[in-house]
Structure 1
Amino acid sequence: MNFNNNQFRCRIQRVTIENIKNVSNGVLRMKCNMGDDIFADKSDILGIYGQNGSGKTAAIVALHLLKQLVNGNPIWGDMDEIIKVDVDHCRVEFVFSLEAENGKRYLVTYDVTIKMKEGQRSSSLVDDAERVETYVAKEALKYKIVDDSSANRNNYIFNYEYENSDSAVFGPNVRYKQFISKDKNLIDDLKYHKTDSFQSRSSFIFTLNKIENIQTRMGYDEELLMIINAIQCFCVESLFVITNSQNGAISANITIPMNLCKYDDDLNRYNLCNINLRLVGETNIPQDLYDAVTERFGIINSVINKVIPDLNIYVAKRGNRTAKDGTELVIAELMSKRGGYEIPLCSESDGIKKLIYCMYGLIQMFNNPSATTVIDELDSGVFEYLLGEILTVLEEAGKGQLIFTSHNLRPLEVLDKKSILFSTTNENNRYIRFKNVKNTNNLRDFYYQCILLGGQDECVYNPTRSSAIRRAFKSVKEDLNG
């Protein structure tokens, strides 16, 4: 059964984070989850604000982990550094709203626990071979039909635990029996797959397509297959995550990463194809991806030249070559044109390159109700007034979801107060919305007031004193003078 994101509408409703970086517990609740109709296809924006080191990036990491796992990729090699320092595991729960093509509505929950193997936690200076390995210890995928009945309960599709020694590879038992009902040979394949997913540090649930002819051999009905494939299709095609490490590669004039969807006949689904386009010099682009790359840049250019007047960007073809393995390649260079002058894209400012990189995700969010774009430090290098203009347009006319972190406070003045989440100093309740905010209040000024005077259920700023900072600067004077 093949799906694309035109056959359903999927959105993130809530994310619960445990033990990622300095967040012991935190809940990200989207604005749409607070409305009368959580399935409404209108703009849904969530901006996360807070003090440095207060857990903003942990939210981005959690959503990036979702994309990594559901795409069937291994968890990162430095996952032991992402897990909170005083524990051996982290857990993230994602709740999605899903509306099928036939109008049937579901709430789908994916719950995953990542655990460290026994050993000493590594430092960032050791080789990867010396790191404490991590693995997917538990996964659960369940759904609930949303209709007029209040009696509907969550139904498990998979409930997997690696340490479980039962003969059934996953639970609940009734689902396991249903799964293997058409082909008993699946039992041995599932046991092998359990070992393989552990060793490869990947999801058990979302790599089942590795088993040969799995969708024709399993006994699940069309409804369950639709739910599984819809979540996977959403994460491959419609979830865009832009992290600080990617921003760093752009600022350093190394590459612009690009994720393209390509159908995999062997796995019977769409997969992400990652390509890094060099900012300095020429890039060898596989012939079968070249048209997709140029089309992507054409889409971005249609909007970027309105955001940055008179700026045009394009992929300049410089020639062709054949790689040693026989792959046909197109030699291309990323260029920009302004005022009749053409220059390499690497010569543009960091802010412009950041906007170019983010723009495709923002375009998807504006047009596609199922698109969710996640950006760490959206404001980095972007002029404050322009940032407010872009967010105003997305909130007023967009259809999808945008989750971002920022230090620039301009969005507090242009977005609805329900669209803003603040990090706190309490690691056990890391994210809150402000209470007692009146319609006449300027949320930016109100935030400063809460920093200085409090008034919320949690403290939102670990106090700093200018006098102490001044003394600290002075205290190193003798050291500087030797």
Structure 2
Amino acid sequence: MPIVRIQRAAIRNFRNVESGEIRFPCNYGEDIFAPKADVLGIYGQNGSGKTTFIDALEILKTLLCGQKVGTELSDCISYGQEQAELQFEFSILKLDKGSVSYRRRFIYSAILSRDTIDESVKCVTPSSVPEKASRIKTIFECTHEAENAVFLPQVKLDSLFGTKQSAKVNELRVTKLLCQKEHRSFLFSPEFLKMLHDAAQKNDNDVEPLFEIAYFAKTSFFVILNRNNGLISLDAAIPVNFRTETAGGMFTLPIDRPTTIPSNLLEIVQQVISTISMVLCKIIPGVKLTLVELGTELMEDGNQGTKIQLARELLCANGETHRLPLKYESEGIKKITSILHLLIAAYNNPSITLAIDELDSGIYEYLLGELLRIIQNSGKGQLIFTSHNLYPLETLDSDSIVFTTTKNDDRYTRIRSVRATNNLRSMYLREVILGSNNDAALYEETNVSEIAHAMRVVGKRMENISIKEETSSEVSHG
């Protein structure tokens, strides 16, 4: 399968971002199709649009996988607006025995309303002949203005599925209505892609890119949201994200007790934990994970399962090995365990795109900077992350860092004119403290005196809060 990379992203009226655009580091290279590491870090103050961008990537993955956006559709739209807009540009590189078979540029646009998702797909496959110009064109456009219309261009619809009254076109109309009702993408729905596969000619440059992007979204595009770490913070479980040659996804292992999994999944869980442990012991010396098997038992469906528990192996002074449940480890080790398999995949595989919200949560800052430096210098995949830890600003290239601004209609920016001898971290802190000469400031200044005054005022009010004795007893035990 080809190597797919996100090159550019633009969001409008999405959550707390009125407008924002990000060009990825690979988009600044001489060859945007080069299959080398591509690292993008997003920095800024709280509530300035970092997590919003990761959420936009999560919605993108949901749409490209043909899954339901659900009630989140209305939550995506900024307050007071009728619709939100997402536009993502991809590069597609197909290699055949090491040589380039073809390159493509692919643009997916989605307009999210409270009840509909309007979409368009544009693509161009540049000619191998330099003199022959290639122009990007609209392949499919699906709107919900007319009930009987399926998609445009009409010529493409007629050539693939026949006249307006044919049985296949009527089936497409039903599929479109079903996708609208379930808040799913029509162009990337499994139903439409199957009909498209059956109707299109082999090696159709207008149709093939849709299957390439859909396959990328299902097998090589991963988004890890910060709210997924709630299980770790509560010491309830570790969601282990993984990707192998044959499978990808997430499984959850309880931290404080054993769990039973289907026996046919035991091998892949063992492989994932073993892979994580081999790298984890190099990142954090002395930390070795093991999957303890505690026997078999029947599951609710009547099938045989294997009871397992995730633990850490410790070497005692007498040379014996001691196992300790992972519940006694730090939150940072649990967080690294949760994401490490995908980081390994992104390091080794140029087809992987991995987005992580608040990557620095619980991770030692020097270790974080070194991990990012390793991925940028010798990795192959695409990594997108948000962070509050500023140390990576000293280890990554300036093109790999994007800052949020105080300007809601121009939310993302880069610091320009960064020389090789400049320290990007110092430049950023200087702009935060002293202000920026640009219209879009990087920090909305707070007044220390006003904060202290507000705390004093509220403190006096708190002293006047009285709770009845019986109510106080209920609160203390509740």
TM-score, scaled relative to structure 2: 0.88
> Which residue in the other structure is 1:398 paired with?
379
Q: Which moved more, 1:79-88 or 1:63-72?
A: 79-88
Offset at residue 185 of structure 1 (A): 2.9
Q: Cα 1:213–1:413, aligned 2, differ >3 Å: closer, same or farther? A: closer
Q: Cα 1:375–1:296, aligned 2, differ >3 Å: closer, same or farther? A: same
Aligned match for 1:20, one of 14, 23, 47:
14
Q: Name the CA distance, whole Å, in 2 between partners of 1:346 and 1:68.
A: 32
Q: Which moved more, 1:144-153 or 1:285-294?
A: 144-153
**1:450–1:456 contact (8 Å) kept in structure 2:** no
Which consecutive unaligned segments of at least 5 residues does structure 1 have? 1-6, 118-134, 264-269
Aligned match for 1:245, one of 227, 244, 249:
227
CA-to-aligned-CA distance 1:429-476 (integer Å, 9 cap, x gap): 100011232222111110111112312341111111211112112222
Runs of 4+ in 1 over 6 A off after TM superposition: 260-263
> Which residue in the other structure is 1:77 paired with?
71
Offset at residue 377 of structure 1 (A): 0.6
Are 2:338 and 1:357 equivalent residues in the alignment?
yes
Q: Cα 1:46–1:314, aligned 2, differ >3 Å: closer, same or farther? A: same
**1:262–1:273 contact (8 Å) kept in structure 2:** no
* 1:200-349 superposed matches below 5 A: 200-207=182-189, 209-210=190-191, 214=195, 217-223=198-204, 224-258=206-240, 274-339=250-315, 340-349=321-330
Larger radius of gyration: 2
Q: Name the CA distance, whole Å, in 2 between partners of 1:101 and 1:212.
A: 24
Identity %: 35
> Which residue in the other structure is 1:385 paired with?
366
Q: Name the CA distance, whole Å, in 2 between partners of 1:30 and 1:36.
A: 13
**1:178–1:220 contact (8 Å) kept in structure 2:** no
> Which residue in the other structure is 2:429 paired with?
448
Aligned match for 2:442, one of 447, 452, 460:
460
Q: Name the CA distance, whole Å, in 1 between partners of 2:131 and 2:3.
A: 22
Which consecutive unaligned segments of at least 5 residues does structure 2 have? 316-320, 465-478
Q: Name the CA distance, whole Å, in 1 between partners of 2:5 and 2:89.
A: 9
> Which residue in the other structure is 2:407 paired with?
426
- Specify the code of the residue in structure 2 equivalent to 1:53: G
- Specify the code of the residue in structure 2 equivalent to 1:176: L
- Specify the code of the residue in structure 1 equivalent to 2:94: A
**2:435–2:441 contact (8 Å) kept in structure 1:** no
Are 2:174 and 1:176 equivalent residues in the alignment?
no
Offset at residue 419 of structure 1 (A): 0.6
Are 2:30 and 1:36 equivalent residues in the alignment?
yes
> Which residue in the other structure is 2:318 paired with?
none
Q: Name the CA distance, whole Å, in 2 between partners of 1:213 and 1:439.
A: 51
Partner of 2:125, secondary structure, is strand
Q: Name the CA distance, whole Å, in 1 between partners of 2:452 and 2:29.
A: 47
RMSD: 2.3
> Which residue in the other structure is 1:190 paired with?
172
Q: Name the CA distance, whole Å, in 2 between partners of 1:443 and 1:323.
A: 55
- Specify the code of the residue in structure 1 equivalent to 2:176: K
